[in-house]
Structure 1
């Protein structure tokens, strides 16, 4: 494909960066530093998306992705995952580009790439969605997380303020109940952005949802607070206190984020600090817990292996006056 055609493809497919501005989205602005952080995350997500849709091959995109500042590189890989999934859907090629990407450097960012596939599904008509059987049966639920984040981020009134829920997602077939829960985990992650990393505002948003949905929402909040950052230790301690009975789920999300960053070699002080508060242990130990509890095959019972995994992690963090075992 010529450079002119690749540039045209970028102009057609890549959203305007103005769509990521907090004022445009109507999100909370806690302070200038937090607003800049969240907008920079959005900027580099779109950078990664653009690299994917205008590159001739995933390998070419990887070279450019590695030039993104390390703190934001994971978000760029997430955007690239979306970009490749959109191209795969539009060309009826299954997930050929996505799988090639995961077979290269994208494999270190596999959690983020799967989330990016969910973003793509939120933008593609259903007949272009990939077959669920083509994805890792454990990680495919991260696709729902990405879908939920997208819907809460871009359709905030419906999914956040009116608490709409995807009760008939039917992907994979027959898994509607858990699909709705996995989508809620992405909605929870988006609440960290909608609330502008302001703990009081984020908790208020969570508490507007029915109690039955809050555990999954807090899991998403913990993941975003740890992976993206934006809150200091005192704010994170307030988050722990206000999560109450859902603190183990908050820690589970934090452990997932620590593992995602460490796997990619992108551990930063904000992730270490968040793990210390939300998990009451180091980021490395939180990541180890995530790896140690990961299912190795199909788990017996009604819950998907992914939910068994999340529950094992949450159960590890038994809090007694702020101390985890």
Structure 2
């Protein structure tokens, strides 16, 4: 049996035993870390969906610490299509972390080449998880990234902090300041979908308790997670961003359905959520995101400014089409 076949049968396997033992001892994430009981998240009807997403991320992460590219591809294929983005996100984190160990070979560019066409957003987010764990070597992780998408590593860092330090983050702590904090807060907003059990009222109360100037970015992250991960009835999405403009909530939803579309036909749950939140058909949303991306790339700005322009133009285009 080939390594790829073995991993397809047992997705958490792969790699050389001695290396696997050392890397997993130092850096492995036990599967129970993705369970609500372990994280202290409130039980909710969305729990099975969100735990499956977290568990798939952990599968990708643990496998990529030691496995070959073929084995990672096989592990990806062993998961349901709607969860594969989470696997790719975890794999990006695992590959980045593994590059810190002998022989110190950075395989992240190879993984980006292999999966980047299908999961570009998720893989850049996954690098941010690695930055959160070992920030003192972040330049090594960030160097291979696409200029426009590189700020998504800040999103990944924000999600990591909100997921693993939920109470502290909900109380107002954040690891990133200045202009970069907007993207970090997008990741924190995504984490609230998990840490609040996709309870829209709990999410709204958490955001309302934080400084008002963070709300737009937090709601963008909530819209992204609600559309990408899902877990609630469609009518619950109408309760998001109560009493506030839904401009950034819509932008986050547009990001999410576009990320699914890059990997193939987006799952029905993501399509219906994006269409419910934005009021636009999903192919129109994807086209608007691509148009906004072209505008941002043509601007030739520094990475963070380019990314912020991209988000802003997406929100503008959705607003214009919704009139």
CA shift for structure 1 position 250 = 0.3
Query: Structure 2, unaligned stretches of length 5 or more?
Result: 1-13
CA shift for structure 1 position 124 = 1.3
Structure 1 vs Structure 2 CA RMSD:
2.3
Taking structure 1 as the reference length, what is the TM-score of the superposition? 0.88
1:1-325 map, 5 Å: 3-9=16-22, 11-12=24-25, 13-31=27-45, 34-55=46-67, 57-91=68-102, 93=104, 96-127=106-137, 129-130=139-140, 132-160=142-170, 162-168=171-177, 177-239=178-240, 242=242, 244-245=244-245, 247-265=246-264, 267-294=266-293, 295-299=296-300, 304-318=305-319, 324-325=322-323
CA contact (8 A) 1:89 1:128 kept: no
In 1, Cα distance between equivalents of 2:62 and 2:175: 29
| Secondary structure in structure 1 of the residue aligned to 2:264 | coil
CA shift for structure 1 position 211 = 0.7
CA shift for structure 1 position 297 = 3.4
In 1, Cα distance between equivalents of 2:271 and 2:223: 13
Taking structure 2 as the reference length, what is the TM-score of the superposition? 0.88
CA shift for structure 1 position 305 = 0.7
In 2, Cα distance between equivalents of 1:303 and 1:129: 15
CA shift for structure 1 position 77 = 0.6
CA 1:90/1:266 → structure 2, altered by over 3 Å: closer, same or farther?
farther
CA contact (8 A) 1:10 1:50 kept: no
In 2, Cα distance between equivalents of 1:128 and 1:244: 35
Deviations 1:197-248 (A, max 9, x none): 11111111111111100000011000000000012121011215x1622x01
Which region of structure 1 is more displaced relative to structure 2, 123-132 or 151-160? Answer: 123-132
In 2, Cα distance between equivalents of 1:266 and 1:81: 22
CA contact (8 A) 1:62 1:106 kept: no
The size of the alignment, in residue pairs, is 307
CA 1:225/1:36 → structure 2, altered by over 3 Å: closer, same or farther?
same
Query: Structure 1, unaligned stretches of length 5 or more?
Result: 169-176
Partner of 1:173: none
In 1, Cα distance between equivalents of 2:124 and 2:90: 10
CA 1:131/1:81 → structure 2, altered by over 3 Å: closer, same or farther?
closer
